[in-house]
Amino acid sequence: MADNAAELVSLTIDGVPLKVPKGTLLVEAAKQIKQEIPVYCYHTKLGPAGLCRVCLVEIEGTPKLQIACNTPVADGMVVRTQNAKVDAGRAMILELLLVNHPLDCPVCDKGGECDLQDYAMAYARGTSDLADPKTSKPKGVDLGPTIVLDEERCVVCQRCVRFDDIIVGDPQLVLKDRGVRDMIATASGDPYRHNFTGNVTELCPVGALTSKTYRFKSRPWDLDRTQTTCTQCSVGCQMFSDVRFGVPLRTMSVEHDDAISDGWLCDRGRYNIGFYDAKERITQPLYKRGDTFMQISWDDAFALWARAITDAIHLSGPQSVGTIGGGRLTNEEAYVAQYLFRALGVNNLDWRAGRQRQATPGSRGGTLADLERANAIVVLGDSPADRAPVLDLRIRKAVKRANATLVRVAPLDVSPVPSIDVVDVAQAAAALPATASSIAVVWDGIDAAAVERLLDALPENVTVRTYITSEQGNARGAETMGMHPRFAPGFAAAENGLDTEAMLAAASDGALAVLSIFGANPALRHPNGPLVRAALAKTPFVVVSELFMTESAKLATLVLPAKGAFEKNGTTLNATGDALPVNASLQAPEGVLSDLEMLVGLAEQLGVNLPAQEAVHAAVIEAIAQAPAFDLGDHAFRTRAAQAATIPADGLRVAVHSNVFAGDGTSAHDERIVALRPLAEALLSTDDAKVYGVSSGDRIDLEAGGLTLHNLSVAVRAGIARGTLVLVDGLATAPANSFAPGAVVRVVHVRKGDSTLVEA
Amino acid sequence: MPVVKVLTDGIGEVDLRSIDVYRSRGGYVQWERAVRDLTPAAVLEYADKSGLRGRGGAGFPTGKKWSFLPGNDKPRYLVCNCDEAEPGTFKDHMLLEFTPHLVLEGILLGAYGIGSHHAFIYIRGEFKEGYRIFTQALEAARAAGFVGKNIFGSGYDLEVTVHRGAGAYICGEETALLNSLEGKRGEPRLKPPFPAVAGLYGMPTVVNNVETLAYLVPILKNGWEWFAAVGTERSKGYKVVSISGHVQRPGNYEVPVGTPVRELIEIAGGLRPGRTFKAVQPGGGSSACIFDEHLDLPYDYESMAKAGSMMGSGAFVVFDDTTDFVKAAYNLVRFFAHESCGQCTPCREGGHWLEAVLERFVHGRGLRSDLDMLKRVSSTITGLNLCALGDSIEPFLKSVINRFPEQFEGKLIKETVTA
């Protein structure tokens, strides 16, 4: 806030002398002496707006009351936040706010945690001269897939409007009409939709903006609150899980989580909590006999699993056993998983089940605060807006507030903040300002070679920080805990095992006897879908721990019902290397175990002694404390290079991109976020759209190697290279990995927007 | 009769919309002189020493306003405020339509005086005809080489952009005007920063009223001494006063500042026969009424302020004994409530509430407790608002409620029979 933090200003508030940095606003200075100044429109993260006028204070020498939210401190200033004049001003503002605010507190979601209730109690007169009816405005306005608006309750603080503008950079909400008739609405009239909409329900000081998922569900004082870490992506936002009668009713951000979430949550993290009590959840181990699954007991499940492993090791050695997964486990679970399998001599361990190859940025990894302070930011690969939404808000903050230069290599989306979009790494390096002394590189852990080329092209005297946004929340934790064919915990050298690619290749050759998959769905997420399906079909004993019958679970021999993140305790390691607590707020359904409990059950059957809980905890902390000595391009990661840039002669080459709401597990089985899931889209370049005679909204069928994907919705995008067709990763309805990597597909049918069918 | 013809010279006599006619009467001579012979600082000196004060309502000294511009190398803008919408004011409207070249020459001089290369005029949406006339005048001036690149071969460039508003009173407030000009919602900005530091598109900006800028032309022609010699101690020069209400010949009258109130009524033809004087609202809808005891006051900034009112934009509305002051108050409060942008609480809610109560009074359904409420709410909200609109609600209401309480008492609901 202050340009020069060292320069202090002395002032007196309510008789208490204090010194604060020059430029500090009175409303913030008063917090130092624990004197609360009421605010509606002011918000620490949004700054002053001067609209609600409730933060009135008296400043000696100024005849009129002043607003504390927009008054910077001055030397010798004498401020009174409480006296008859101030009280009268505030009482007037509250009386006025209540002229048209409906007194429907008994049925208002905000009741009990409402700033209008609280300040009315603290500052209002208690009586009113109001003798006329209140204005009538629309109630229950459907703003979009997530938010419902009660126009009558709105106090026009415009925090929601300013959030969209200042924080998100996508100013959808505006104030329409004027005077007492003014209303919050989207400027276009289109549904209010971006990845951060839920935050406006928390910013709203009253009950005007409410979440569809929580509306009329509970009184806040009836909720059991637990603070935990969101594990839906690798940012690690702190959040509250608010539970009533065993059902997670809502999540809330943690206001003081400046280091990680900056106080925000994305809509995936906030709203995707409805799967815990989904009826499709698996609640008993399932064992496949022939083509059908039968329910079995946990004892039988452990026995069968242990027997399969023992037999495999006995017959073909530990190299015939493999384990995939870890990015959805806690650090403790990942540690125990690798401990158990390594104890058996099994070195075929890999957390990687999707496209990502690397999760730990290595020696140049930065913090989120570093990211916010970077002079320039280069984004490579999948958009952080879809991989790590709240991290993307930091990028926007750096660009909007500190004028950082944002350079994006071959992006598929439109940046909400000014960006220089280039086609390759060489152009990216050239686009960076010569004055940039700190550069952040944000990538997706897929094509390390491209990042290396970029880093090589950067001047030597600049500070470079790298960031990897992961496909799964605890990818970095799993990697650090040694769920990796070359790393033991803490990146210590391990006896080499097969990585996921090699395991799948071995399995499809019939060389793998047991494959255990923990919290991963390679059948949908691995880029080579045909290989995964062949590998799982060929492997005699496949175990999958899951919440739902995913594509991988369907191909398993033994399916183990697993707990979700709100149902277990442990720690997770986020993209920037912060170890964060995962605290249980829910009771898991009966019959469901955590992956840790499964591993304990398996170890008992195998006769392996696992370390005690305290020892696991200590080992996890020690592993995290080991600073990774490697950087990009370490041979341990075997980079997955981007597809050849050649334009196929006949057809289109398939590429994929992430969408924050894609996935077939927690996202697919949550009725609360149905409207947020992405369409099965095929993104095409403008050129190819012309070639195929299609435009956005048309539907196409794709075919390659005898496989067909039906009814993909066409979206024409300028940023896409000619000859490339981009599919959404991880959509069960249209798996992007249906075809082999780099497959060239043919467009076989086109359905125009008016439903006429055209043979392509 | 002290009516003068300075800005109004030629209006109604010749076609000043024609650039040839305007030039034949000395038009654009000052503009040429300024660009060729005067430095911007010299033009500023004219504005400053003449004692010219803002004619839009606030009466801020023009030269002082210009001097607030920071000495940085950012582009700076002059914006001419032609969003005239104050109830009772219709002078800028007339100047725009009848002497558009004078308005333009004033804008050019103002822009030159602050060292700007781009001036804007924001024309109220309803002034469709004025917009057409001014745009034609601008094109004629551009064709003559008075606007554009390398004016008079001096190397000085000045562009003028015409922008039409969409018809909102609040856009006469300078920061709301700037927002509207930028294509944003017309609502006042939080100050600081002030426009002089961060105005249009975040650049140093001066916003001046049409009449203010137009007076620069005769001031340059006649010298600042000529202007400063007229008027009262701190209110100098001339003023176009829009006289309306219960007078026989309402209209715009240009007079020396300081002409007595009584004389202004006479200039406009006096009251209708048989009627008696009740009040004058001397400075537009935002001003308090003055009464019999104020008739001999000079009409200037200081005297009107001393009488508890203001000269404002020079909207002078006369009320005789036929006036229903309850209706008049309701009419004005309804106007302000309707025109409130609604962003800040006191103006939005207070204006609406007062309107609702006054509407009941108009229908004879006032409550005794309302009388206190009207005074309490209107006075408490004054000073709490983000801009001046909310502070404009109280003055007229308070002045007539105090002066004519019987009119309000007469509108109370008849007492009900008590048990």
Please provide the average confidence, as pLDDT, over all residues in chain A: 94
Q: B210-222 vs B40-49: helix axis angle to the nearest 10?
A: 100
Distance CA A489, CA A217 (A): 44
Q: In the CATH scheme, what is the homologous superfamily, with its name and number, of domain B19-228?
A: NADH-ubiquinone oxidoreductase 51kDa subunit (3.40.50.11540)
Most B CBs within 10 Å, among A71, A92, A175, A177, to test the B interface: A92
* Amino acid of residue A148: V
CA distance B348 to chain A (A): 5
Q: φ and ψ at A55, to 5 degrees?
A: -85, 35
Q: Does A84 touch chain B (CB under 8 A)?
A: no
Tell me if chain B has a CB within 8 Å of the CB of A175.
yes
The predicted model gives A518-536 an average pLDDT of 95
Does the CB of A51 have a partner CB in chain B at under 8 Å? yes
Asked if residue A726 belongs to a domain, the reply is yes
- Whether A576 and A486 map to the same domain: the answer is yes
The answer to whether A286 and A559 are in contact (CB under 8 A) is yes
Burial per residue of A223-234, b for 16 or more beta-carbon CB atoms within 10 angstroms, e otherwise: beebebbbbbbb
Q: To the nearest 10°, the Cα dihedral for A661, A667, A670, A672?
A: -10
DSSP 8-class letter at A34: T
CATH number at residue A395: 3.40.1010
| Domain final position from A401, A435, A468 | A468
Q: How does residue A506 score in pLDDT terms, banded at 50, 70 and 90?
A: very high
Q: Where are the beta strands (DSSP E) in B83-199?
A: 118-123, 148-151, 156-164
Domain containing residue A748 = 652-759
One-letter amino acid identity for A528?
N
Residues of A in contact with B348 (CB under 8 A): 156, 179-180, 182
Tell me whether residues B343 and A175 touch, CB distance under 8 A: yes
Per-residue model confidence as pLDDT tens digits over A238-253: 999 999 999 999 999 9
Residue A447 lies in a domain: yes
Q: Give the Å distances, CA to CA, from A646 to A409, A423, A659, A737, A741.
A: 18, 14, 26, 20, 14
Contacts of B190 in chain A (CB under 8 A): 48-50, 70
Which band of pLDDT confidence, cut at 50, 70 and 90, is reported for residue A760?
Answer: low
Q: How far is B300 from chain A (nearest CA, A)?
A: 25
Q: Among A82, A111, A143, which residue terminates a domain?
A: A82
Give the distance from residue B383's alpha carbon to the nearest chain A alpha carbon, in angstroms.
6
Per-residue model confidence (pLDDT) at position A536:
97
User: Whole-angstrom Cα distance, residue B148 to residue B380?
Assistant: 50
A180 CA: distance to closest CA in chain B (Å): 5
In contact, B327 and B302? CB cutoff 8 Å: no
What pairing do the DSSP bridges indicate for beta strands A438-443 and A376-379?
Answer: parallel
The CATH number of residue A161's host domain is 3.30.70.20
A620 and A596 both lie in a single domain:
yes
By CB neighbour count within 10 A (0-12 exposed, 13-18 middle, 19+ buried), where does A221 fall? exposed
Look at residue A363 in the predicted model and tell me its pLDDT.
87
Nearest to A209 by CA among A134, A145, A140: A140
The answer to whether residue A2 sits within a structural domain is no
**Cβ contact, residue pair B369, A131, below 8 Å:** yes
Handedness of CA A188, A191, A195, A198 (dihedral sign): positive
CATH number of domain containing A745:
2.40.40.20
User: What is the reported pLDDT for B287?
Assistant: 97
- Name chain B contacts of A92, Cβ cutoff 8 Å: 346, 377, 380-381, 384
Nearest by CB to residue B340, choosing from A88, A93, A179, is: A179
Predicted confidence band at A627 (pLDDT cuts at 50, 70, 90)? confident
Pick the range with the lowest mean pLDDT from A162-166, A640-644, B140-144, B219-223: A640-644
The number of domains in chain A is 5
- Does B386 sit within 8 Å of A92, measured CB to CB? no
Statement to judge: residues A436 and A388 lie in one domain: yes
User: Using one digit for the tens of pLDDT, what is the confidence trace for A95-124?
Assistant: 999 999 999 999 999 999 999 999 999 999
**Same domain for A590 and A491?**
yes
What SS3 state is found at B416? coil
CA angle (B374, B375, B377) in 5-degree steps: 70
Nearest to A50 among B337, B381, B386 (CB): B386
Q: Which residue of A has its CA nearest to B378?
A: A92
Closest in B338, B373, B384 to A56, CB measured: B384
Q: Do A54 and B345 touch (CB under 8 A)?
A: yes
Distance to chain B for A129, nearest Cα, Å: 7
pLDDT (0 to 100) of residue A2: 41
> Residue B231 corresponds to which amino acid?
G
Residues of A whose CB is below 8 A from B185: 174-175
Are both A240 and A324 inside the same structural domain? no
Q: Is A330 left (phi over 0), alpha (psi -120 to 50) or beta?
A: beta
Residue A489 and residue A352 share a domain: yes
Q: Is A186 on the interface with B (CB under 8 A)?
A: no
- Please tell me the predicted confidence (pLDDT) of residue A1: 42
Confirm or reject CATH 1.10.760.10 for domain B325-409, answering yes or no.
Answer: no
Instruction: In whole angstroms, give the CA distance from residue B250 to residue B246.
Output: 8
Contact yes or no for B345 and A177 at CB 8 A: no
Do A459 and A481 belong together in one domain? no
Nearest to B384 among A53, A100, A181 (CB): A53
Rounded CA-CA distance A572/A157 in Å is: 37
Closest C-alpha to A81, from A117, A116, A124, A29: A29
Domain co-membership, A751 together with A657: yes
Chain A residues with CB-CB distance to B341 below 8 A: 178-179, 182
pLDDT for A643: 58
The answer to whether A181 contacts chain B (CB < 8 Å) is yes
pLDDT attached to residue A128? 85
Average pLDDT over residues A472-477: 96
Q: Return the number of CB contacts < 8 Å for A and B.
A: 104
Residue ranges in chain B modelled with pLDDT below 50: none
Q: Are residues A525 and A391 in the same domain?
A: no
A329 contacts chain B (CB < 8 A)? no
**Among chain B residues, CA nearest to A89:** B380
Q: Is A87 contained in some domain?
A: no
pLDDT of residue A208: 98
Residue A735 within a domain: yes
For the beta carbon of residue B66, count every other beta carbon within 10 angstroms: 22
> Is B352 within 8 Å of A48 when comparing Cβ atoms?
no
Taking only the tens place, the pLDDT of each residue in A670-714 is 998 999 999 899 999 999 999 999 999 999 999 998 889 999 999
- The answer to whether A53 contacts B346, with C-beta atoms less than 8 Å apart, is yes
How is residue B348 annotated by DSSP? I
Angle A45-A50-A53 (CA atoms, 0-180°, nearest 5)? 115
CA distance B223 to chain A (A): 39
Tokens of B348: 């939005």
A444 within domain boundaries:
yes
pLDDT at A336: 98
Nearest residue of B to residue A177, measured between CA atoms: B341
Q: Per DSSP, which regions of A469-590 are E strands?
A: 487-488, 492-493, 514-518, 541-546, 558-561, 570-573, 579-582
Domain boundaries, chain B: 19-228, 238-320, 325-409
Each residue's pLDDT tens digit, A45-90: 999 999 999 999 999 999 999 999 999 999 999 999 999 999 999 9
Query: Which of B342, B367, B385 shows the shortest C-beta gap to A131?
Result: B367
State how far the Cα of A469 lies from the Cα of B413, in Å rounded to an integer: 70
Of B352, B370, B373, the CB nearest to A180: B352
Q: Is residue A191 part of a domain?
A: yes
Which CATH number covers residue A65? 3.10.20.740
A406 and A464, same domain (yes or no): yes
**CATH class of domain segment(s) B238-320:** alpha beta
Joined together, the tokens standing for residue B113 give 């005086």
Flag whether residue A180 sits within 8 Å of chain B, measured between CB atoms: yes
> Does A746 have pLDDT greater than 50?
yes
Residues 9-48 of A with CB under 8 A from B: 48
Nearest CA-CA distance, residue B374 and chain A, Å: 10
Which band of pLDDT confidence, cut at 50, 70 and 90, is reported for residue A646?
confident
**pLDDT at A371 (0 to 100):** 96
* Residue B408: C-alpha distances to residues B119, B324, B329, B362, B381 (Å): 48, 10, 10, 9, 21
**Which residues of B touch chain A, with CB atoms under 8 Å apart?**
168, 170, 185, 187, 190, 192, 337-346, 348-353, 356-357, 360, 367, 369-370, 372-373, 376-377, 380-381, 383-386
Indicate yes or no: CB of A130 within 8 angstroms of CB of B168. Answer: no
Closest CA to A449 of A358, A574, A576: A358
| Calpha distance B258→B238 (Å, rounded) | 9
Chain A residue with Cα closest to B187: A178
Task: Report yes or no: A127 at the B interface, CB cutoff 8 Å.
Answer: no
Please tell me what DSSP assigns to residue A651. S
Q: Which residues of A touch B375 (CB under 8 A)?
A: none
DSSP symbols for A406-474: EEEES-SS--SS--EEESSHHHHHHHS-TT--EEEEEE-SS-HHHHHHHHHHS-TTSEEEEEE--SSTT
Has the ipTM of the complex gone over 0.90? Answer: yes
- Chain B neighbors of A155, CB-CB under 8 A: 345
